[in-house]
Amino acid sequence: MTIAHRADAIAIVDDDPRVRQLLGSYLSQEGFEVFEAENGASLSSILHRRAIDLIVLDLLLPDEDGFSICQRLRANGIRVPIIILSAQAQDTDRIAGLMMGADDYVRKPFNPREIRARIQAILRRSPPREEPGGPSSRNEVVRFGPFEFNLGTRTLRRDGLILGITTVQIAILKVLVRHAGQPLSREKLAQVARGRELGAFERSLDVQVSRLRKLLQNGPSSYILTVWGVGYMFDPSGEGGVIRPPDLDAKLVGHPAIEHVA
C-alpha cells in the first residue's frame, strides 16, 4: 500500500524575482510546494487562500520591511515558522529579527542547499503530521474561552463537561485551531482534514463546519469565523461572524491567543 504525503508548502517573499525564481525552482525540485510573493501584501493574499508551512522572508522590502511583516504576523496569532533573509551583516539585525518572532536568520548571498537544510531542521521540530481523525502523538490541549480541546484523547469539553463531537468535526477543529488566525480556503481545509482534494466533500464540509460552529457557540457568536470569498478561520476572540479579507488585520490585532497546554 502506498501512502501519499502532502508536500510542505513554502512561501518565498522577496522583491527580487531572480531570488524567488532561483530558490523557488530549487525547493520545488526538492519536493516542496512553493508560493512566491514580492511584498507583504502578496504574502497576506497567499495566507488568506491557503495554509503555509514555512515562510522565507527577505528583510529589505520596498513597502513593508521583513521586521514589520514578522511582527504583524505574530501579533495576529499566525505562528508559521519564518526564516529571514538579509544582506545586512550586523548582529543587531539578526537579533532583532529573532526578537520579532523569526525562527532563523540567513545572510545573503546564500546557498540554496543551506536554505533547504534550515527549512528541514525547522519543520522537523514542528509537530508531526497525524491522521486527522486519529489521536495526537502528544497530549496536547488547547483552551479557548470555556472550551478545552484535548488532541490526544480527542475530547472537547465545555466548563469541564465532555461534549459530543464526531470524528470529522475533530479533524476539522484540529486543523482550524492549529492555524488559528490564518484563513483557510474550503479546498485547503478539506484537503488537510480529510487527506484528499475537496471533491464530493465540498457540501458536507460546510454542513460540518456549521454544526461545529453551533457546538462552539459562546453567547451570540462562535469561534469559527467565515472569511468572505475565502473560507473559514479560527478566531480566538470568540466573536465569530463574517469578515472580508482586507479587514482581517484590524480585527485580529490585540485578540487573545489560544492557550496551549502540553
Which one of 3.30.70.20, 1.10.10.10, 3.60.15.10, 3.40.50.300 gives the CATH number of domain 141-261?
1.10.10.10
pLDDT at 126: 66
* Domains 9-125 and 141-261 belong to one CATH topology: no
Top-confidence residue, 186 or 17 = 17
Q: What is the pLDDT of residues 209-235, one digit of tens each?
A: 888 888 888 776 678 888 877 888 888
Using CA atoms of 159, 165, 168, 169 in order, give the dihedral in degrees to the nearest 10: -40
pLDDT at 127: 56
- The DSSP element (H or E) to which 121 belongs, if any, is helix 112-125
Top-confidence residue, 175 or 195 = 175
Q: pLDDT averaged over the chain?
A: 77
Q: What is the pLDDT of residues 164-174, one digit of tens each?
A: 888 778 888 88
Distance, CA of 217 to CA of 203 (rounded, Å) = 22
Only one residue has cell 474561552, namely: 145
pLDDT at 83: 93
pLDDT at 28: 93
Q: Rounded to 5 degrees, what are φ and ψ at 13?
A: -115, 110
Q: What is the pLDDT of residues 84-128, one digit of tens each?
A: 998 876 777 778 778 878 889 898 888 999 999 999 988 887 654
Strand partners, 262: none
Q: Where are the domains of the chain?
A: 9-125, 141-261
Considering the domain 9-125 in this protein, what is its CATH number? 3.40.50.2300
Q: Does residue 105 sit in helix, strand or coil?
A: strand
pTM across the whole model: 0.53
Q: Where are the beta strands (DSSP E) in 7-166?
A: 9-13, 33-37, 54-58, 82-86, 104-107, 141-144, 147-150, 155-158, 161-163
